[in-house]
Amino acid sequence: MPDLAARFSRQVILPGFGEEAQSRLSSARVLVIGAGGLGSTVIPAIAAAGVGTIGIIDDDTVELSNLHRQHIHGIADVGRSKARSAAESVAAITPETRVVVLEARLSNHNALELFADYDLVLDGSDNFPTRYLANDAAALTGIPLVWGAVSQYGGQAGVAWAARRTQYRDLFPTPPPPGSVLSCEVGGVLPTVCATIGSIMATEAIKILTGIGTPLLGRVTTFDALSGSFRELSYERDPEAAPIEKLIDYELFCGLTPMGDEIGPEVLATELEAGVPLTLLDVREPWETRIASLPGAVLIPLDALESSIDSLDAGAAIVVYCHHGIRSARALELLKDRGFGNARHLQGGIDAWSRLVDPTVTRY
């Protein structure tokens, strides 16, 4: 079609690219994990480049606090499915691109079946269980995985392709302790860092799909926004690494709280309504409590919990909560280590409480 030829003409004329590379993109099937900060750059970039089929898997909804960095969504999308919002943006960029909307969370129950339908996966997730799951599923299905991560003023990106050379586990054999790496929720993130790392990820995907250039295999690109500098780190295949033979429990592998120590929003609401004596412990920052909080909660920010733990009754039934359940899981681990045997944490945090129990509690 003449209009398509004009649309992609500026990349087709690139040295070493040509119509063959463009044809490879149009026939490619790419799965993107997450339509958040990284996905908001990755998805429109590969769509605009002409990738024929894009799968978008994300079970989250758009929140107001997302919009400073998740530019694929707008004010009108707050409260909507991120996957559907992103799909509509793709349709506005390249109507010819087929988008598969997957309003679900990637898990060890669906990953292998999903990955088998795609040529390449882009991992824009924001947690370690999903990163290790994505790596292992890509290794078992033999396809390349492009990954990225951001936090505060920096980020990194690389390629995991076990069938060709190195994978994510060669670089990070074991996950960091829970809570030791700040999430965007806790530590914040400069929005342009998401755009920079997302652009690198999209570039790597285009290179692999078309065969141009040299992929970031055995190398990681890191970016520091405060200095404006990039660094490259090299690594090799770990000869002593155990082979990946099946998918595992990645929450357990990453040291996250067992399900028995979690309490769902609906169950907590039932216990509170029945008058069960509970201490609600809020480990967010003071500014967050001014937006939304649960009545009667004790506020001790996570960073201050260890020094203030003696102010709590070790024998009390405590339910810890934060925004999404990440900080509360780390707080629960600390409480358990200090003998708080009756402590649990709120699954999904106050965000889940707002969605499932009380929508008058503001989401942010």
Tens-place pLDDT, residues 159-211? 999 999 899 999 999 888 766 676 777 678 999 999 999 999 999 999 999 99
Angle in degrees, CA 130, 132, 134, rounded to 5:
65
Residue 310, pLDDT score: 94
pLDDT of 46 > 90? The answer is: yes
> Are 247 and 108 within 8 A, CB to CB?
yes
Percent of residues, the chain, with pLDDT higher than 90: 84
Summary mean pLDDT of the chain: 93
pLDDT band per the 50, 70, 90 thresholds, residue 20: very high
Residue 177, pLDDT score: 75
> First vs last Cα of the chain: how many Å apart?
45
Condensed to tens digits (0 to 9), the pLDDT of residues 117-174 reads: 999 999 999 899 999 999 999 999 999 999 999 999 999 999 999 999 899 999 999 8
Q: Pull the structure tokens for residue 89.
A: 């943006």
Q: Is it true that 2-253 and 259-356 share their CATH fold?
A: no
Residue 318, pLDDT score: 97
Q: Distance between CA 112 and CA 3 in Å, rounded?
A: 37
pLDDT band per the 50, 70, 90 thresholds, residue 258: low
pLDDT band per the 50, 70, 90 thresholds, residue 251: confident
Q: Distance between CA 67 and CA 220 in Å, rounded?
A: 28
pTM above 0.85, yes or no: no
Which CATH number is associated with domain 259-356?
3.40.250.10
> Are 209 and 159 within 8 A, CB to CB?
no
Q: How many helices (H) and strands (E) does the chain have?
A: 16, 13
**Residue 49's closest CA among 21, 69, 72, 70?**
21
Residue 173: left if φ>0, alpha if ψ -120 to 50, beta else—which one?
A: alpha
pLDDT band per the 50, 70, 90 thresholds, residue 334: very high
Q: Distance between CA 33 and CA 131 in Å, rounded?
A: 10
Query: In whole angstroms, how far apart are CA 348 and each of 134, 190, 247, 327, 345?
Result: 22, 24, 24, 11, 9
Condensed to tens digits (0 to 9), the pLDDT of residues 274-319 reads: 999 999 999 999 999 999 999 999 999 999 999 999 999 999 999 9
Residue 259, pLDDT score: 53
Q: Distance between CA 43 and CA 30 in Å, rounded?
A: 10
Structural domain spans, the chain: 2-253, 259-356
**Residue 351's closest CA among 185, 189, 191, 187?**
185
Residue 120, pLDDT score: 98
Query: In whole angstroms, how far apart are CA 294 and each of 36, 315, 322, 352?
Result: 27, 22, 10, 12
Condensed to tens digits (0 to 9), the pLDDT of residues 215-244 reads: 999 999 999 999 999 999 999 999 888 899
HSE-up of residue 241 (Cα within 13 Å, Cβ side): 18
Q: Pull the structure tokens for residue 296.
A: 């009667």
pLDDT of 2 > 60? The answer is: no
β-pairing, 262-263 with 279-282? unpaired
Q: Which of 36-50, 96-110, 149-163, 350-364 has the lowest mean pLDDT?
A: 350-364
| Catalytic annotation, residues | 184, 322
Query: In whole angstroms, how far apart are CA 283 and each of 288, 318, 321, 361?
Result: 10, 12, 6, 17
* Domain over 2-253 is classified CATH 3.40.50.720: yes
